[in-house]
Amino acid sequence: MRTTSIHHAHHIRAYSRMARSDFWLFELSVWFHALALSLVSIFIPILLYKTGFSISEIILYYFLFNLFDVPLNFAASALTRHIGARAVAIIGTFAAILFIISLLNLHTSGAYVCNLVIMAIFAALYDTMYWVAHLYLFIQSDTDIDHTSKNTGVFYAVRQTAITIGPIIGAAILLFFNEQILLFMVIIFFLISIVPLSVMHHPSNKPAKKLLLHDFFEHLGVRRTYLSKMFYNFHNEVETTLFPLFIFTLFGTIQSVAAIPLIASLAAIIIALSLGTVPHEHRRRTIITGAILIAITWVGRIFLLHSVFLYASVLLVGVFSYLVLVPLDSDIFENARKNGDPLSASMYRNVVDMSANTVLYGTLLLVTNVFPASMAIAVTGLTVLILANIFLHRKTITVPPIPENIA
């Protein structure tokens, strides 16, 4: 009996070491991937603008990208169940490389709308394949259920360190070399990110369970969390895509844009790690506080266009955003582990994000003054998020039992 117990304990310790090894291999892959993406992501609308595309054409590209993205999430989920999350994440990374190649061959002459459609398709394939699969892998590789907030903070802090240095490197390449060198560097780092991902050995690479839509969203706490994530993304998309373009149109230099993620990231790393200490019962209050502070900052941006305030606001939003994002994702990841369907959690998280983006860019296609309208939409989304968390006030997520009719 004692020998059996010792043997069992040895296997538990070995599995724990394997799981933690997977977690850090995953984080290493995420770091290189985030570095590759951050080299160019903030500059994508700038590159489109410098190539000769108008603001309305750039908005059209992002509308098409998000429109294609929403249904492709369901295809990414089905493929993950069939061939496994690591394979799908790797496919998504190669789709990102194809997107970069399409950027290399971008031009405004001739059938420029065709160019935008091709770019949008590759971007949507990348976003759905990589993000759905890699968030599933994060949930599965993080086996420390009692410290979900802490590990979610680590997840964002690791990404943020790469996001901090990526735009600086990207700006330096654009200043001293050219767009082609930058995009080749992006491809190299994307390829490197595949290496740690390919050697992970977590046994739950292929999801076994699938909850029906009704069962997944049966309880109020789950619906509130995903609703909050959707309305938060109005702000997030404006902040990460349109606000840098707005800064570029104001100041006209690559340096002015590269400074944005540097300012935001240094504070964000600290706040992302510290949010691991926020008790579960205080998450909703933290979300409301963060959303109110971001909304106030956006109102200030609308009425005060001074450069000092604009850059100071980047620092403020960089901190306040994590007051919302880390608790929301902690709830999503905890619920995913408890209901036994982390892949659906990852898919629906991406679906609500990209649905919000589709509405955002579809609305902006209809207006003339894109930047003021986008800021107003960001404030509106945050207002709905605040109201949802005040009035849908169940403090904890009640996780439904796994039903009999598992698909």
pLDDT digits (tens, 9 = 90+) for 127-173: 999 999 988 888 876 655 555 556 666 666 666 677 677 777 887 78
Distance CA 358, CA 62 (A): 8
Please enumerate in sequence order all residues whose Cβ is within 8 A of that of 232, keeping only pairs 6 or more positions apart, or say none: 291, 324, 325, 328, 381, 382, 385
Residue 148 to residues 88, 182, 227, 238, 252, Cα–Cα distance (Å)? 24, 36, 21, 28, 42
**Residue 61 is inside which H or E element, if any?**
helix 55-83
Percent of the chain topping pLDDT 70: 79
Which domains are assigned to the chain?
A: 2-199+208-391 (1.20.1250.20)
Helix (H, G, I), strand (E, B) or coil at 60: helix
pLDDT over 50 (residue 373): yes
Residues 16-34 have a mean pLDDT of 73
Q: Do residues 326 and 336 make contact, with C-beta atoms less than 8 angstroms apart?
A: no
Residues 353-372 have a mean pLDDT of 96
Residues 225-250 have a mean pLDDT of 94
pLDDT over 90 (residue 91): yes
Helices 148-176 + 254-274 axis angle, to 10: 170
Percent of the chain topping pLDDT 90: 41
Distance CA 153, CA 163 (A): 15
Give the residue ranges of DSSP H helices in 304-367: 307-339, 342-364
What does pLDDT average to over the chain?
82
pLDDT at 10: 37
Residues 121-126 have a mean pLDDT of 96
Could you report the per-residue pLDDT of 241-297, keeping only the tens digit for each? 999 899 888 887 777 777 776 676 666 666 666 665 566 777 889 999 999 999 999
pLDDT over 50 (residue 240): yes
Confidence class of residue 315 from pLDDT cuts 50, 70 and 90? Answer: confident
Chain-centroid distance of CA 137 in Å reads 14
> Environment class of residue 380 by beta-carbon count within 10 Å: exposed (0-12), middle (13-18) or buried (19+)?
middle
pLDDT at 155: 67
pLDDT at 139: 80
How many CA within 13 A on the CB side of residue 212? 9
Distance CA 183, CA 97 (A): 9
Q: Do residues 257 and 362 make contact, with C-beta atoms less than 8 angstroms apart?
A: no
